[in-house]
A and B are shown apart, each in its own frame.
Chain A
Amino acid sequence: MSIQVKDTSIFYGDFKAVEDVTMSIKPKSVTAFIGPSGCGKSTFLRTLNRMHEVIPGAYVEGKISIHGQDIYGPNVDPVAVRRKVGMVFQRPNPFPTMSIYDNVLAGNKLNSKRIKKSEADSIVESALRGANLWNEVKDRLSKPGMGLSGGQQQRLCIARAIAVQPEVLLMDEPCSALDPISTAAIEDLIHELKSDYTIVIVTHNMQQAARVSDDTGFFNLKAAGQPGHLVEFNPTKQMFTKPDNPDTEAYISGRFG
């Protein structure tokens, strides 16, 4: 599931938030987006599964295709895109009315898909195992998801996302609300998930980008009020040792941002 982005700009009404992004995201790898606040990296991430459309007046110009299919094509249903491209958010957001079990099955339940009990059980178990959460919650699957700790909730949200069997997983600063130990658990999980999913992660933390990603994209603003743009997109190793662009180097070495 490679993702190809070509000349993509993002608008909120008249305001151009992100300008002319072109990149190619490799399948079954981790790609990180870094950059200062407000540079459009989260906005850009959301266009990869059309989540930005939740905001009225937001639209995209250019072409984004996943596995060769234009996700903004004329007959494309954004709902179908999101089933292929899952997402994990900044704050853990399990559904408060649902148990842990139902949270994992939320994708099926909310779509009223009928599945056999045995099949449901196995989906829940494999998703929770996939999210490294099974051992911690297997005895209290019927308890509310809100009762878990922050880090567990976030892994529950990852389990929920992978239970619908997406091919791409977008993560929008998934660790920013978590403590260091929970963060480490999520980072380990990202490593494991890489073998099955294409992962794109936005992070504020450059060490995290260096630890978990294979490729890194650096977004920046030319000036306040200007649209954000992609400065450099390269293998993470190269990015953190000898970046092509002097701005990237300045940012990575902590001289601004």
Chain B
Amino acid sequence: MTVAADPGADPGVDTKSELSGRGSMGDVVFRGIAVIAATLIMVALAAVFIFLGIEGIPGFSVDEQHYAGQGSFLGLVVPLLYATMYAAVLALIVAVPFSVAIALFISHYAPRRIATPVAYVIDLLAAVPSVVFGLWGAVVLGPYLVPTHAWLSENLAWLPFFDGQPSGNGRTLFTASIVLAVMILPIITSICREVFAQTPRLHEEAALALGATRWEMVRYAVFPYARSGMVSAVMLGLGRALGETMAIAMIVSPKVLISLFIIGTNNPETIAAHIAQGYKESTPDRLSVLIATGLVLFAFTFLVNALARWIVARGRAK
């Protein structure tokens, strides 16, 4: 084996001058900027909590008169939170079957030359601003659905949802949940579409090779694989529906109440709509109350999103 000569035995060369760097300054600066940007996000989020806290915490206990006739913070926030959940769940009930079906349509059923434009159109649907949806729901869809409201209250009054005097203008939670469903449909569809498309080809081919029909292939090869992704898609849709303000604020004529009835003139009011409709009353105490309800909404959507992420992470670990 050839043994190395003493590495130091080359005295003619000055180590420093040839290999020592000059470019490292740029690296330090650039990295610094990147770190600052990343840290700014931390600061911003901390600021969100701090400022909402400073302005909102007093809102938990101000004079009774500021709780929109509900007497206390809990008395106000519980019905609001109920309505927020209720509207979001109604929207999910409408949106989920359609989203899954459309995702399947794009990933497994439609011929490619239809699937690509359809996927694009669904993405466009996601780009329509919520205020436009709200306008459409209030001015077009609501009045159009008035006969439907009447029909529901006549024929399905044995269900608590439809038991009562129907609204004459269609600006109800029923209309709002349909609009909300259309709004969250693209999110759920696009995530489902991605997970469906990621099903290993081998599984699908194995199912087909066993003589499965297309539906059996979807049921036994695609769905089991995509389950956690579908659940998280639904949760993300739920998160979006919870925070949606304008569509509901513009469509429904709301009141702070807990009720299952969704086709009448008085509809349960959601947190976001409550804030949007109450922000003009600028007494500081009232604003504190609104900000406090905003904090509750933030915390709640955070929990829902965290749950969705946890499900995804668990699905991946398997």
Contacts and interface: CB of A to CB of B under 8 A. Distances in A.
Task: State if A and B touch, Cβ cutoff 8 Å.
Answer: yes
B281 interface: no
Nearest to B14: A69
A128 B10 CA distance: 34
Interface in B14-42: 15-16, 18-24
A63, A69, A232, A233, most chain B CB atoms within 10 A: A69
Interface string A67-78: 111110101111
Nearest to B21: A77
Contact of A65 (B7, B16, B23): B7
A6 B21 contact: no
Contacts of B18: 69, 80, 84
Interface in A77-120: 77-81, 84, 111
A244 interface: yes
Contacts of B1: 232-234, 244
Nearest to A64: B7
Given A77-B20, A77-B24, A68 B2 contact: no
Given A67-B13, A68-B12, A4 B5 contact: yes
Contacts of B7: 4, 6, 63-65, 68, 70
Contacts of B5: 2, 4, 24
B44 interface: no
A3 B19 CA distance: 15
A164 B3 CA distance: 31
B4 A81 contact: no
B211 interface: no
Interface of B: 1-13, 15-16, 18-24
28 contacts: A2-B5, A4-B4, A4-B6, A22-B3, A22-B4, A24-B2, A24-B3, A65-B7, A65-B10, A68-B10, A68-B13, A69-B19, A73-B19, A75-B15, A75-B16, A76-B19, A76-B21, A77-B22, A77-B23, A77-B24, A79-B21, A80-B19, A80-B20, A80-B23, A84-B18, A84-B19, A232-B1, A234-B1
Interface of A: 2, 4-6, 22-24, 63-65, 67-71, 73, 75-81, 84, 111, 215, 232-234, 244
Top 8 A-B pairs ranked by shortest CB distance? Answer: A77-B21, A68-B10, A65-B7, A75-B20, A4-B7, A76-B19, A24-B4, A69-B15
